[in-house]
Chain A
Amino acid sequence: MGAPEGSDEFFDGARDGRLLIQRCVDCDDYQFYPRQVCVHCDSTNVEWVQASGRGTVHTFTVIHQQGMPGWRDETPFVAAVIDLEEGPRMTSNVIECAPTDVRIGASVEVTFVDEGPFVLPRFKLV
């Protein structure tokens, strides 16, 4: 199971403890997930930049049933959509807390977890 086309930088960055997202050189807007084109202005002039790693919980769910291998034994766990400080949203997990502690609007910061094939950005409450 490989990374999608054009996402090696993201996963290499995560391995180095850096959260990388894309910025459009032409319109200065950010995007996640990585693409060949800017979804705001159609420019192909997109570059990788390091995000601050800070954000807030836009919405979340506590997953109690997940049959996929690798997740089945993790329930209950928190899946969340994070509003990154730069603007884009990122689907991730809020970890190192009780699921009942998570609230919409809560401040979070990135942390990195080795998940086998990938090192992945996760978030913890601050």
Chain B
Amino acid sequence: MDNQLLKDAFERTRIVGAAVSDYPLTPDMSELDHHVVGIRNALADCGLSLRDVDGLIIASGGFGGLNPMGLAEYLGLRPTFVDGLSVGGSSFVYHAARAALAVGTGLCEVAVVAMGQTGKSGGRGMRGFGGGGPPPQGFGSFFWDSLAGVPLIGAYALAARRHMYEFGTTSEDLAEIAVAARYHASMNPKAQYRDPITVDDVLNSRWVAEPLHLLDCCVVSDGGGAYVVTTADRAKDLRKPAVQMLGYGERVGHAGIGQMPDFTQTAAADTGKVAFEMAGLKPGDIECGELYDSFTITVMLLLEDLGFCEKGEGGAFVREHLRVGGPLPINTDGGGLSAVHPGMRGMFLMTEAVRQIRGEGAPLAVAKEGGVDTCLVHGVGGQLSSHATLIVGKDG
């Protein structure tokens, strides 16, 4: 695949600022508040102001909801580039490539990607998560799967069951992923749950959708954040060390779980391959991972599909890795499993990746003193449906 245009765009652009708005429980903040605060915090992080912004990207809720046109107007912006791509929780990783292309081709000079959701306090944006409108609903497989009463967690449970059947993966293996996330959350003062847990705690938590227990599932939070992409030249004069994008791949594999071609292999197998090739790196070169952890099985599939271990060997892999100090620390804020998951977690993958490249933010887990040289971000949206892999590194 010739992705020279994207390579050129990555060469010419940098992620220069990133910040969260707040999390995990913000009863006094709206989704708009999270967007505005996140944008202001991310701009302050790099020393830019709203007046510098000429590109705006959010996951659009359509004209009835928060959308890039409306938010731009609200902030007093007249952007020369907007995008509203919304493909679920992975959206904000997809947005990074779009921001780089927009800045790299001169459509705009300072692009801000923002996100905010009140999944806990607002009671919105979590449809199909055990709540929501009357069934059946949705387009395509979302409608057809709804006829069988499959909630979001059930969709991931279908994949988990098949993985267990094909590879002998156990509930204990999956639990290791939740335990590692909680370990990192214990160092994060903002994390929604911080008390350390054991494999037995996961196994003894109630079933939600077999074989997934309650502690195999992400938390339900409020939260938001933003990051800023500008030119490599402009990045030199800004407050904090810039982050360079090195490799990227995206793929939508299906929409609803019923149409997933292979229940034990996601489109991450394709996006990872493309991203690694573009970056000229291999899985062993990655020092830190921010891997979408909607459920423990999500991480298991990603570790295998991205090539960190062979297909079917995720169970053995997770017992020896994943924590700071180990070979591949992942989800260093405590992840969606313990720290924050407002419905679409992808923004926090991006803010964490920037934090780990810079090596800042203690007492939160820091994967390497002085910052890691490479971090792999992987977003998953829908029901293992939309995938985006972004590999980032230190500037230069």
Contact = CB atoms under 8 A, between A and B. Distances in A.
B208 A65 contact: yes
B263 A79 contact: no
Contacts of B167: none
B119 to A, nearest CB: 14
Interface residues on chain B, size class: 35 or more
B206 A79 contact: no
B165 A1 contact: no
A108 to B, nearest CB: 13
Contacts of B347: none
Interface in A39-78: 58-71, 74, 76-77
Nearest to A90: B258
Contacts of A125: none
B79 interface: no
Contacts of B207: 62, 64-65, 76
B159 A59 contact: yes
Contact of A67 (B132, B137, B157): B132
A61 B132 contact: no
B135 A63 contact: no
A110 interface: no
A93 B131 CA distance: 20
B22 interface: no
A69 B258 contact: no
Contact of B158 (A74, A76, A81, A118): A81
Contacts of B154: 61, 63, 66, 79
A66 B210 CA distance: 12
B280 interface: no
Nearest to B158: A59
Nearest to A33: B144
Nearest to A100: B210
B150 A79 contact: yes
B261 to A, nearest CB: 10
Contacts of A65: 130, 151, 153, 207-209
Interface of B: 128-132, 134-137, 139-141, 143-151, 153-154, 157-162, 165, 206-212, 256-259, 263
Interface of A: 1, 4, 32-33, 58-71, 74, 76-77, 79-81, 89-93, 99, 104, 115, 118, 120
10 contacts: A4-B140, A4-B143, A60-B158, A61-B158, A62-B210, A63-B209, A64-B208, A68-B134, A91-B256, A92-B147
